[in-house]
Amino acid sequence: MNLPEKNITIQQKLDYLYALDGKGIKPGLKRILEFLDRIGNPQKQLTTIHVAGTNGKGSTCAILASVLSASGLKVGLYTSPHLVHFNERIRINGKKISDTEIVEFLDRYQPIIEEVDSTFFETTTALAFEYFNKNKVDIAILETGLGGRYDATNVVNPLLSVITSIGKDHEEFLGNTLAKIAMEKAGIIKSGTPVISAKQRPQLRRILENEAQRNRCHFVYAPDWCQIKVRRQYSDRQLVTIESDHFHFDELKFPFLGDHQLINLKTVMAVLNNLQSLQINPAAVEKGIAATRWHGRLELLSRNPLVYYDVGHNLHGIRQVAQTLEKTFPEKKFKLLIALGYHKKIGSLGKILSKIIAEVVVSEIPGARSIPAITLAAIMKRDLPAVTISVEPDLRLSLQRIMKSLGAKDRLLILGSHYFAPAIYDFFKINV
């Protein structure tokens, strides 16, 4: 079957864009600044909130964007990576950028991309800035791609700088200690711009606070600004009580699971408490939080049998998933389907998952470099000697077999990177 011309065009352009990824990660802001200068510096026309951190960035950005959109604002949201479609990275009030906009941008600026030697993420960031400026968004929420100091998004002068939970990841680029990683994340702090921090280890909080003080910034530690209590938990949401300076809710629907998501919610509430100039009303906060949709974060794919999917891709994130499921389903264990990217540190993976896992199927990510299934299985077996661990490199076959094996009362956790997502959503017929 021949693809429509439009699809061929967008795929060709995306192939060109993805090929820029072959240049790797190049620290420094020189290329993005030159690129933006040559297209009119659209970022200078934007009001922004800039978000860095190790885990929780995407969820925090999504909740915040949903609330601001419910408040009647035109909200740009720039996140990465995408799950299924590139267009997910750039949205306005939840609507993804069109294929046409992507094609026109790449057609228009391909000479500049090549002259400045722009990377994939730098080019995508420039696309987001121009798209948001062209559409006159009231505010743009920007998630860093990697680190902070040398991230391509770190060319804005934001209304607020936000730093979510910091843990170890991308150590080859950010440093091999939490302190070094925290300093890289703190690189988004700008002179005089208020800084909102999620809950951190005491050492990391001090680093962020010192950097804020050095830059003469008001430092806001989110746990000091907001108290949240869980009233009831369900398989796909929590009902929570929120107490903060400007907002009080007795029973608010929060469509995420886990204490780590409550940390993200506290961060959002601290941001909202420090955005009083936007006159956000409580009804919009309640509506926006309840309406938030963010795929791949302990997402419920099936109720009968119970199937969750999480894009946890580092030990910090996977530990949060395990703790959440242990707390939500005490005394009940899950079957696990897992595939991970080749560069991930996984030495203690089995130990982290040991309390919630009854059986494991190890697979590989279609079309991406994975830890070989047989290697990952052997590593997990060291900490899970009594657990049956099988290997099936073909993900679709893995899914078919494990779903057939599930009884109505069984539970399945699918765990893997963002590159896992297209196959998962295709199998479960979910539109992202």
pLDDT tens digits for range 277-325: 888 999 999 999 999 999 999 999 999 999 999 998 678 889 999 999 9
Is residue 429 pLDDT above 60, yes or no?
yes
Question: Which band of pLDDT confidence, cut at 50, 70 and 90, is reported for residue 408?
Answer: confident
- Same-domain check for residues 329 and 187: no
Question: Which band of pLDDT confidence, cut at 50, 70 and 90, is reported for residue 168?
Answer: low
- Same-domain check for residues 57 and 172: yes
Of the listed ranges 2-6, 32-36, 182-186, 240-244, the least confidently predicted one is 2-6
- Same-domain check for residues 152 and 239: yes
Of the listed ranges 24-38, 51-65, 98-112, 160-174, the least confidently predicted one is 160-174
Long-range contacts formed by 124-128: CB under 8 A, 24+ apart = 124/17, 124/80, 124/89, 124/90, 125/32, 125/78, 125/152, 125/153, 126/32, 126/35, 126/36, 126/39, 126/42, 127/90, 127/97, 127/102, 128/76, 128/78, 128/89, 128/90
- Same-domain check for residues 64 and 80: yes
For residues 44-65, average pLDDT: 96
Mean pLDDT in the chain? 92
In a domain? residue 215 = yes
Q: Which residues of 326-342 are buried (b: 16+ CB within 10 A; e: fewer)?
A: bebeeeebbbbbbbbbe
Question: Which band of pLDDT confidence, cut at 50, 70 and 90, is reported for residue 163?
Answer: very high
Q: Give the pLDDT score at 24.
A: 61
Is residue 8 pLDDT above 70, yes or no?
no
- Same-domain check for residues 170 and 67: yes
List of residues 6+ apart from 220 with CB closer than 8 A: 194, 195, 196, 197, 270, 274
Range picked from 199-213, 302-316, 417-431 for highest mean pLDDT: 199-213
Q: Give the pLDDT score at 171.
A: 47
Is residue 93 pLDDT above 70, yes or no?
yes
- Same-domain check for residues 178 and 284: yes
Is residue 170 pLDDT above 60, yes or no?
no
Is residue 336 pLDDT above 50, yes or no?
yes
- Same-domain check for residues 238 and 118: yes
In a domain? residue 176 = yes
Question: Which band of pLDDT confidence, cut at 50, 70 and 90, is reported for residue 1?
Answer: very low
In a domain? residue 202 = yes
The domain total for the chain is 2
- Same-domain check for residues 269 and 285: yes
CA 132/CA 78 separation, integer angstroms:
9
For residues 197-201, average pLDDT: 97
In a domain? residue 432 = no
Q: What is the CATH number of the domain that holds 184?
A: 3.40.1190.10
In a domain? residue 228 = yes
Pairwise pLDDT comparison (345 vs 147), residue with the higher score: 147
Q: Give the pLDDT score at 122.
A: 96
Is residue 50 pLDDT above 90, yes or no?
yes
Q: Which of 239, 271, 291 is a domain's end point?
A: 291
Q: What is the CATH number of the domain that holds 389?
A: 3.90.190.20
Single pTM value for the model? 0.93
- Same-domain check for residues 313 and 423: yes
Q: Which of 256, 291, 326 is a domain's end point?
A: 291
- Same-domain check for residues 306 and 268: no
Cα Rg, the chain, nearest whole Å: 21
Structural domain harbouring 309: 299-427
Is residue 270 pLDDT above 50, yes or no?
yes
- Same-domain check for residues 344 and 380: yes
Question: Which band of pLDDT confidence, cut at 50, 70 and 90, is reported for residue 346?
Answer: confident
Question: Which band of pLDDT confidence, cut at 50, 70 and 90, is reported for residue 172?
Answer: very low
Q: Which of 258, 291, 324 is a domain's end point?
A: 291
- Same-domain check for residues 281 and 331: no
